[in-house]
Structure 1
Amino acid sequence: MSDAPAQNSPLNSPLETGLRSVAILAEACPDEFDLQRLLYFDYLVVHSSDADGPISLHPNTPLRNGELLVRRGVIERGLLLYISRSLIDRHARADGIFYSASEAAGPFLECLHSAYSCELRLRATWAIDTFGALDDDELKSYFDARFERWTREFQAVQQPPELLL
């Protein structure tokens, strides 16, 4: 018997994170992203209001800055899922492994009409328009500066109220 909890919800599952990656890569096309860049853009799409963008796609939880540390594995699994469906292409280069939208990604996304998928595409467009021109070092610096601020803000939320005796 496995100790791992069953994943019954698509929220933040490989299915959803992979779909977000398809949307991000389709918007960035023909650019290729490595996993770290996808991780940053996934965070921007999900928590766009943290970056002075539109209302966040997911609820703002106090410890969401920790998502940057734990999201990598589920994004990798999502990429593999959508690679297996020929919606994302993987490219091995001398400087690492990079991902891009396949030719089928755009038409696939155009077939999705749920409120979530429409909002996802709007956030992906916003993220690429706002941050797509930043190189990897600039993007890392942006997150490093905000991550420190977000950590301070969230630590204040975590501190228990003083007990009155």
Structure 2
Amino acid sequence: MVRRASPFNSPLETGIRALSILEAAHPEACDLHRLVELDYLVVHSGDAGGPASLHAALPMRAGELLVRREIIEQGLLLMASRGLVERVVGPGGISYRAGEAASPYMAALRAPYSMGLRARALWVIGAFGHLDTDAIRAITSRFFDRWTSEFQLTQLPGRAS
């Protein structure tokens, strides 16, 4: 049986999402920790009081924060290998910045999903870009805390699951 790679939750998908965030933040660079937090807010913008979420509001979605880092890093490496993202080494470690080709590449993506992605990335940077990563993490942690308490409530004896 031949297993086909899915474009969903793949380095390609997360790389394009990270690229949209970096393009919106340009010329600022973001480290991986910041991109993980911003990526969650782009995908689930409705949770943060923004435009309708890009992805469905599934239960337990805050758990995504636990698995995003590695796949976003793979996506960034893919985008860097194509010259769309630049790695920036500084005193705080490695950060990423949109490369010269990022804006023309993103402008060429005309599908409704891609256009919605860009709009949400601009919204996220406008709403949260001025905050430091710890402040953004505090916001996304509230979603995780709410998800954890909802999960625990459904697990109590006598409650329907």
Q: Distance in 2 between matches of 1:44 and 1:163?
A: 31
Deviates further, 27-36 or 134-143: 134-143
In the other structure, the counterpart of 1:3 is none
Residue aligned with 2:67, SS: helix
Tell me, yes or no, if structure 1 residue 61 matches structure 2 residue 58.
yes
2:36 pairs with 34, 39, 63, which one?
39
Query: In the TM superposition, what is the alpha-carbon distance from 1:141 to its structure 2 partner?
Result: 2.1
Query: Given residue 162 of structure 1, which amino acid in structure 2 is its aligned partner?
Result: G
Q: Distance in 2 between matches of 1:52 and 1:40?
A: 15
In the other structure, the counterpart of 2:81 is 84
1:48 pairs with 41, 45, 50, which one?
45
CA offsets, 1:123-165, max 9 Å, x none?
Answer: 1011111101111222122223332123213433x4378389x
Asked if the contact 2:63–2:144 (Cα under 8 Å) also holds between the matched residues in 1, the reply is: no
Deviates further, 45-54 or 137-146: 137-146
Residue aligned with 1:150, SS: helix
CA 161–52 in structure 1, closer or farther in 2 if over 3 Å, else same: farther
Give unpaired runs (5+ residues) of structure 1.
Answer: 1-5
What pairs with 1:59-138 in structure 2 (closer than 5 Å)? Answer: 59-138=56-135
Asked if the contact 1:39–1:75 (Cα under 8 Å) also holds between the matched residues in 2, the reply is: yes
Deviates further, 45-54 or 78-87: 45-54
Query: In the TM superposition, what is the alpha-carbon distance from 1:53 to its structure 2 partner?
Result: 1.1
Q: How many matched pairs?
A: 159
Asked if the contact 1:88–1:100 (Cα under 8 Å) also holds between the matched residues in 2, the reply is: yes
Tell me, yes or no, if structure 1 residue 162 matches structure 2 residue 158.
yes
Q: Distance in 1 between matches of 2:159 and 2:72?
A: 41
Q: Distance in 2 between matches of 1:42 and 1:141?
A: 15
What TM-score does the superposition give when structure 2 sets the normalisation length? 0.90
Asked if the contact 2:27–2:97 (Cα under 8 Å) also holds between the matched residues in 1, the reply is: yes
What TM-score does the superposition give when structure 1 sets the normalisation length? 0.88
CA 128–141 in structure 1, closer or farther in 2 if over 3 Å, else same: same
- Percent sequence identity is 52
CA 23–128 in structure 1, closer or farther in 2 if over 3 Å, else same: same
Q: Distance in 2 between matches of 1:86 and 1:94?
A: 23
